[in-house]
Amino acid sequence: MSVKVYEGEELNGLIEKAKKELGDVEILYYEVEKRGFLPFLKKKWYRLFVLKKEEEKERDREAESSEIVKLEEEIGEIKRLLKELKENSPSVASPPPPVPVHLEERVVCTPEEFGEFTGDALELLSLLVKKGVEPEVAKAVVKEACGLDLESEKLDLNTATFREALLKGIEKHLKFTGEFKVEEGQKKAFVFLGPTGVGKTTNLFKIASKFVIEQELKVGVITTDTFKVGGVAQARTYASILNIPFFVATDQKKLKEIVESLKELDVILIDTVGRSHYDYWRLGEIKATLSGLEVPAEMLLLISCNYGTNEAMEVVNRYRSFFPISSIFFTKIDESSSPGILLNVPYTSGLPVSYISTGQRVPEDIKLLTPELITNYLLGE
């Protein structure tokens, strides 16, 4: 393969000459310069570089074959490495495919935890743990429905169904307030307490509506929440929809005055500002305002079912150190897949339970908590 150079004064003539001599050619490039001594007599001088077409093909073929050689060399090297690897590695069976793990199956009763139980009791315990019930709480509840199985010398259910067993255990270990009631002539207040956003305001109006519709009582609402932007407006709107008198108390003195002026009312519902249970200073402020309340009052602590049990117990313990909590009012069960909290918190705290809110609609999304209802949630019915 070689490049031929043609020189002359006429470019076209050079190309013709190259074609004549070499046949099919590829023009690579050309140069031009001016030759002559006198500037106005200078002539163009061309230098044409051409390549014979066959030579071009040959050049491609050469490149291709050198690529093939390179590839063959690489394949040879890979084969050699594979052979080496096979000879040097110990002969082991290939590992088994991974076993899929199902989330549900991860929660199992370990013999250490539930070693004293057998049969249906063990099955019920497993189910409760899957629903978020703490093992210790589950054991205490299930034990109430157990007798000794003579063959295995372990505890097994002595009830016909899981439902019966749970009802027995829940009735024994949990306290229920039943529907809130106010005796005739007895003025009573209900204070809605709890962390931010648990549903204090909305659920206060669900209870207000129960008093008005089911017990035909005269109800008034006081909010002490002047902190939340739009808080007063939210409460005022609900109050006007339900046609309930509504007041705002900014401090202890104001609260006392309002309550004294509401002589004709049977029930006063008090909404409070949502505060983090870690904020002792703010919880102290709520306590100071409520000290202006001089009628018998029930302190309701609202707990969202979205909380984990430890978090919920933290809320209970901190609020309890400020207020004499009379019952736990669960909220947002519709947003939770772990109803175990309904057993864990009342069992551990010893506090009675009152209601549970099941959605956002006011006033319908509320239910009275009963052993049957908790059993339904736990059994997924």
Ligand X SMILES: Nc1nc2c(ncn2[C@@H]2O[C@H](COP(=O)(O)OP(=O)(O)OP(=O)(O)O)[C@@H](O)[C@H]2O)c(=O)[nH]1
**CB of residue 182 vs ligand X: minimum separation in angstroms?**
23
The site partner of 50 among ligand X, Mg ion, none (C-beta below 5 to 8 Å per kind) is none
Which residue is associated with the tokens 């908790």? 374
What token pair was written down for 361?
């609609």
The window from 20-28, 197-205, 326-334, 341-349 that contacts Mg ion (CB under 5 A) reads 197-205
Count of residues that bind Mg ion according to CB under 5 A: 2
The site partner of 332 among ligand X, Mg ion, none (C-beta below 5 to 8 Å per kind) is ligand X
**CB of residue 193 vs Mg ion: minimum separation in angstroms?**
11
201 contacts Mg ion (rule: CB under 5 A): yes
CA 17, chain centre distance (Å): 83
186 contacts ligand X (rule: CB under 6 A): no
**Applying CB under 6 A, which of residues 36, 178, 197, 380 lies at the interface with ligand X?**
197
Residue type present at position 299: M
285 contacts ligand X (rule: CB under 6 A): no
**Applying CB under 6 A, which of residues 332, 354, 374, 377 lies at the interface with ligand X?**
332
The rounded distance, in Å, linking the Cα atoms of 323 and 77 is: 80
363 contacts ligand X (rule: CB under 6 A): no
Query: In the bound complex, which residue of the shown chain has the CB atom lying closest to ligand X?
Result: 274
The rounded distance, in Å, linking the Cα atoms of 17 and 9 is: 13
**Applying CB under 6 A, which of residues 201, 209, 344, 349 lies at the interface with ligand X?**
201
Which residue is associated with the tokens 């061309």? 46
Binding site for Mg ion (CB under 5 A): 200-201
Binding site for ligand X (CB under 6 A): 194, 196-203, 225, 228, 231, 274, 331-332, 334-335, 357-360, 365
